[in-house]
Each structure stands twice: as C-alpha cells, then as structure tokens.
Amino acid sequence: MRSPGPPEKSTVDPSSASTVAVEQSQAGRILGLDELLILNALWQERSLTTPQASRLLQKPEPDARAVLERLVEMGLVEARGERKGRTYHLSAATYRRLGLPSAYVRRRGFEPIQQEQMVLQYVRAHGRVTRREAAELCQISLDQAYRLLQGMVKKGVLIQHGKKKGHGIRYALK
C-alpha cells in the first residue's frame, strides 16, 4: 500500500478567501458553497457565462443565474452584456478589497468605445477587418463582434463588403 503523498495544493486563492471573510463579516451574512465556487472561478478565469456557471455548480441554468445575480446584488460581481452574451466578473469593489484596483481594469476588458477605436485602428493599418479578426482583437465572442461591426456600419463609420450571410464578409472604412 502506497503512502498518500503530499497534500494537494488548494485552488482557492487566499486573497479571494479573505474577501469572502470581509464580505461575510461586514454584511452579517454567510455565503453558500455555490457563491464561493462562483467567486473562486471568477478569480481564476476572469469571467463566467451562465452556462459555464451551470456546469460548475452542476445545476440548471436558471439556478446558476440566480446565484450570479445574488452576487451582483451583494456587490461582489458585475454583469456585462445581455441575454446569451452576458458575462460576469468580479466587481471593482472586490478588487479594491483585495488591494488590486488596477487588476479590475485589466480583467474587465474594453468598453464598446475602446473596441470601436481598436477596430478603426486595425482597419486603418490593414485596410479591412473580418468578424473573426474583430473578435480576436477585442477579446469578444463572434456574435459580439458581429454586433459591434454592424453598429459601426449603422453609424456610417464602416461599410460592409461581401455576402450578406456566411463567410467572406469584410468591413472597410467608409
């Protein structure tokens, strides 16, 4: 029979655990296992969608969404986007409690106006941009990139070249 060996390292970051302890003592409430799992995942992964939270918690999506929204109400988590594109990340207040306020800005990602500016800079440098390139550039999903590019077309900043649906669509300066 083999000896069990050294204990495995915990995947819970000590600073995120201290944030939870601070929150519990300040609010006079105890966070449940679901909330702790979500907070830990957000600390490690930067952001989560409802389907990802559902898999993590091994619960249906409406239950996972309820946990995420409770954390939003508590001010520990922020939501970004709508419907299926909605993602969750740790709040600015949580990063402040951790003593890492600049990490919030890096982890939150870019605002839509910044995304538009990055796309414009890319198009000026390369002459055109595809949906996939915009998604990679702005670190967003393909659907979000499509909406971003279509919004820029509606504003009259870009024009669309190529098929209306499917592959081959490119966007250039107007």
Looking up residue 157, the CATH number of its domain turns out to be: 1.10.10.10
**Domain coverage including residue 98:** 14-108
Based on the domain organization, do 36 and 89 belong to the same domain? Answer: yes
| Residue where one domain finishes, among candidates 84, 108, 132 | 108
d(CA 124, CA 126): 6
Would you state the pLDDT for residue 129? Answer: 94
Would you state the pLDDT for residue 28? Answer: 64
Q: What is the mean pLDDT of residues 46-74?
A: 93
Mean pLDDT in the chain?
Answer: 80
Would you state the pLDDT for residue 4? Answer: 47
Based on the domain organization, do 102 and 74 belong to the same domain? Answer: yes
Query: Are 20 and 74 contacting, i.e. CB atoms less than 8 angstroms apart?
Result: no
Query: What one-character DSSP code corresponds to residue 55?
Result: H
Would you state the pLDDT for residue 26? Answer: 58
Q: What is the mean pLDDT of residues 142-165?
A: 88
**H-run or E-run covering 2:** none
- CA angle 133/139/140 to nearest 5° reads 90
d(CA 55, CA 68): 13
d(CA 105, CA 36): 23
Over the stretch 69-127, which tens digit does the pLDDT of each residue have?
A: 999 998 889 888 777 778 898 888 888 877 777 667 666 556 677 888 889 999 999 99
**H-run or E-run covering 77:** strand 77-80
d(CA 138, CA 108): 12
Based on the domain organization, do 87 and 128 belong to the same domain? Answer: no
Based on the domain organization, do 100 and 51 belong to the same domain? Answer: yes
Would you state the pLDDT for residue 5? Answer: 44
Would you state the pLDDT for residue 92? Answer: 84
| Residue where one domain finishes, among candidates 88, 108, 128 | 108
Based on the domain organization, do 25 and 50 belong to the same domain? Answer: yes
